[in-house]
Amino acid sequence: MNADHYTYRVTWSPEDGEHVGLCAEFSSLSWLAKTPEKALRGIRQLVAEVVSDLAAAGEPVPSPIAERTYSGEFRVRIPPEVHRSLVLEAAEQGISLNRLASAKLAA
């Protein structure tokens, strides 16, 4: 598994007073550093080490989000009142409930 294919992000941590490097596929890992560049370098190195350790132990290694395939479908449970309201809104706009929900999620 190529650790460079994972989803990384760097943000400021007011609590720590430093930048924090994060990896979406390994949400329990983080790396603090004085600069964003060092935070990114640190989290990437940490993830590479964890991936190596998991592989060596025969443990499953998460696949990168970018390399997964998606069907474009997922189910969401909502209260019946919300469902009714959305159906009404879609009907008033002359569009399908699916199109309305997709537009709302994308907004």
Mean pLDDT of 65-91: 95
Contacts of 22 (CB under 8 A, 6+ apart): 8, 9, 10, 11, 29, 30, 43
Contacts of 89 (CB under 8 A, 6+ apart): 100
Domains of the chain in start order, with CATH, are 3-66 (3.30.160), 70-106 (no CATH)
Residue with tokens 């499953």: 60
pLDDT tens, 3-59? 999 999 999 999 999 999 999 999 999 999 999 999 999 999 999 999 999 999 999
Q: Which residues, listed in sequence order, are joined to residue 31 by a DSSP beta bridge?
A: 21
Mean pLDDT of 65-84: 95
Q: For residues 66 and 7, is the Cβ–Cβ distance under 8 A? A: yes
Tell me the CB-side half-sphere exposure of residue 51, using CA atoms within 13 A: 18
Q: Is the pLDDT of residue 2 over 90?
A: no
Instruction: Read off the pTM.
Output: 0.76
- Alpha carbon dihedral 45, 62, 1, 12, in 10-degree steps, equals -30
Question: What count of other Cβ atoms lies within 10 Å of the Cβ of residue 26?
Answer: 19
